Amino acid sequence: MKTGNANDKSLAQRIEYYTAAWSIWHDNFWFGVGTGNWKVAYQQAYQEMGSDMAEDQYADAHNQYLAWLVRFGLLGTLLILCLLALPIIQSGMCRNAIGMAFVAILLISNLGDSNLDTHVGGYFFILFYCLFLTNIDQLESPSSQMA
């Protein structure tokens, strides 16, 4: 804030990342820039913003939802969210406290990083998402299973 230099300052960098992402999404609102062009779009956005960050500090928004908006636009992001929510609703997982705790943790954690863009985050999501969807009956409380 004092120097205007965001290099190696986590919060200042995230502000730059978010600003660049919003700029890119604003210019490509409906369909985004695509999966192959997002890195170039970010680099151009930083240069157009007049960012003082070093090029090796350039990165995406560190927010899964902004990453989807940049890559796929509003329509693609809504489609992804619907495709993720539909099995949760159809399986009845939305009535299960443990399953919904998983969903809440995932939704909140994606605000601070692009978790589904990493191998670890993707595997974590796939494991527990599939586990909860396919075993929702076993996750019921023990008292309801004994009755």
Give me the sign of the Cα torsion angle 8, 12, 14, 18: negative
Q: Is the residue at 77 inside a domain?
A: yes
Domain count, the chain: 1
Q: Is the residue at 4 inside a domain?
A: no
Domain containing 92: what range? 10-140
Q: Is the residue at 147 inside a domain?
A: no
Q: Is the residue at 55 inside a domain?
A: yes
Q: Is the residue at 1 inside a domain?
A: no
Tens of pLDDT, residue by residue over 114-134, are 999 999 999 999 999 998 888
Tens of pLDDT, residue by residue over 40-54, are 999 999 999 888 888
Global pTM value? 0.85
CB 103 within 8 Å of CB 92: no
d(CA 44, CA 52): 13
Q: Is the residue at 45 inside a domain?
A: yes
